[in-house]
């Protein structure tokens, strides 16, 4: 079988940094934090800081699927709707897959509906069970886009919208489809925030990855969408690495072996040595265990000199949407129109290294890439249960 190269020909994004490529690139490369809010309505008797996508979201045209998660997905699909429509004309609407990732779907809307029913005894007229189904995200997207190819949702916690790239590539390479829409969305919910609060994993303030003073994650929300095609593009999907270490239900393997395995597989798939990677977007949640194992994995696979940063201080941890949004950050970094100065996303933290961790080359403000066309980058996503994912993206 001929392994056709896959181009990431279009990308849409919405995060706490803003809506669209321009707003996100401005915040990403300046190291400006996005929109955060301290809320007391998510965790009982506790005020928590969360990253939010500001402003009203458009209602979806399908009432039974109208929830905040799908509305946010609609925003990023609208950003690339013209390229998707053009692809549908070229390939046929039945030859384009939709594979999206989420971990919460529309559960926040269900939480509000249950609260109203408890208060009034009546379900709100706007609530439909389909709004909270995991598969609802991809079913909504395929209907909204008017496509007829395979459509399904990947839900493996925080690596969900990174895993979709592997699923889509398998569909394309097997000949089932000719192109795919991938990405994902996750929105804030009480269930998620209370779960992390129970694990004592929430920071009371902005997360502080790889610092000696790190004290947990800050939750955010976001969405991304890509059009993936077997053609040359400015940004190519060059390598994919997956592993599952199944060390613990919620804690990572402290040795970092599973994370390192995913990175090595992605490099091998791309046919690149570790020295070819110009930048690493770290998973970097700022929990003590994640940062400890990830620093070991990066040092073992790529060494301590590769420029690296976690972008979660800018957006919060977007959970099932994080992998896709952070892949979108690589897309922005590699695209001349949105990064003409060849800047790297700075690592925003308190500057106090943890002497117990392997030293990493954390990106400082105004750090730049060499201005050439041979750049490759890597992003990693790690999830509960040891579901690990690494993507290599770069110029053709």
Q: Annotated active-site positions, please?
A: 158, 283, 317
Residue 124, C-beta contacts closer than 8 angstroms, at least 6 positions apart: 112, 113, 116, 117
d(CA 286, CA 309): 12
Distances (CA, A) of 234 to 163, 373, 384, 389: 22, 9, 33, 23
Say what angle helices 136-145 and 68-79 make with each other, to 10 degrees.
40
Listing DSSP states for 186-234 in one string gives E---HHHHHHHHHTT-B-SSS--TTBTT---B-B--EEEEEEEESS--S
The tokens describing 260, both together, are 């390192």
Which residues have CB under 8 Å from 3's CB, separation 6+? 173
285: how many CB neighbours lie within 10 A of its CB?
A: 25
Cα–Cα distance, 143 to 89 (Å, whole number): 16
On whether the CB atoms of residues 65 and 131 are closer than 8 A, the answer is: yes
Closest CA to 75 of 161, 15, 9: 15
Q: Which two structure tokens, joined as six digits, stand for 224?
A: 């991304």
Q: What is the DSSP string of 64-123?
A: GG-SHHHHHHHHHHHHTHHHHHHHHHHH-GGGEEEEEE-SSTTHHHHHHHHHHHHHHSS-
Taking the C-alpha atoms of residue 8 and residue 181, their distance in angstroms, rounded to an integer, is 10
**CA 123, CA 117: separation in Å to the nearest integer?**
5
- Give the separation between CA 257 and CA 273, rounded to whole angstroms: 18
Q: How far is CA 300 from the centre of its chain?
A: 24
CA distances from 324 to 12, 267, 277, 296, 383 (A): 10, 19, 19, 24, 13
107 burial class (0-12, 13-18, 19+ CB within 10 angstroms)?
Answer: buried
């Amino acid at each position: 079988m001929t392994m056709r190269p896959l181009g990431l020909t279009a990308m849409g994004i919405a995060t706490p940094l803003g809506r669209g490529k321009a707003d996100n690139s401005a915040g990403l490369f300046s190291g400006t934090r996005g929109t955060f809010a301290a809320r007391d309505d998510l965790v009982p008797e506790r005020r928590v800081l969360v990253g939010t996508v500001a402003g009203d979201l458009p209602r979806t045209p399908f009432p039974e699927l109208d929830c905040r998660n799908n509305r946010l997905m609609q925003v990023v699909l609208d950003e690339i709707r013209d390229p998707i429509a053009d692809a549908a004309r070229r390939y046929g609407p039945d030859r384009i897959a939709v594979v999206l990732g989420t971990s919460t779907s529309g559960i926040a809307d269900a939480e509000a509906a249950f609260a109203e029913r408890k208060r009034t005894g009546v379900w709100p007229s706007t609530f439909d069970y389909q709004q909270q189904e995991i598969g609802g995200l991809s079913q909504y997207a395929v209907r909204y886009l008017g496509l007829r190819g395979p459509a399904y949702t990947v839900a493996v916690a925080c690596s969900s919208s990174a895993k979709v790239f592997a699923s889509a590539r398998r569909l394309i390479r097997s000949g089932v489809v000719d192109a795919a829409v991938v990405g994902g969305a996750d929105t804030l919910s009480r269930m998620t925030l209370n779960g992390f609060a129970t694990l004592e994993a929430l920071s009371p303030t902005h997360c502080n990855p790889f610092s000696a003073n790190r004290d947990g994650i800050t939750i955010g929300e976001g969405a991304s969408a890509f059009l993936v095609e077997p053609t040359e593009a400015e940004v190519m999907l060059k390598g994919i690495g997956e592993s599952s270490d199944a060390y613990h239900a919620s804690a990572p393997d402290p040795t970092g072996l599973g994370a390192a395995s995913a990175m090595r597989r992605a490099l091998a798939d791309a046919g690149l040595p570790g020295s070819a990677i110009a930048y690493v977007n770290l998973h970097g949640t700022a929990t003590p265990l994640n940062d400890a194992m990830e620093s070991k994995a990066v040092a073992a696979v790529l060494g301590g000199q590769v420029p690296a940063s976690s972008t979660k201080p800018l957006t919060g941890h977007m959970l099932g949407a994080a992998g896709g949004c952070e892949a979108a950050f690589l897309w922005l970094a590699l695209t001349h129109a949105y990064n003409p100065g060849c800047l790297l996303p700075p690592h925003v933290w308190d500057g106090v290294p943890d002497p117990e961790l392997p030293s990493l080359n954390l990106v400082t403000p105004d750090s730049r890439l060499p201005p050439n066309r041979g750049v490759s980058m890597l992003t990693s996503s790690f999830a509960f249960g040891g579901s690990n994912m690494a993507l290599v993206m770069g110029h053709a």
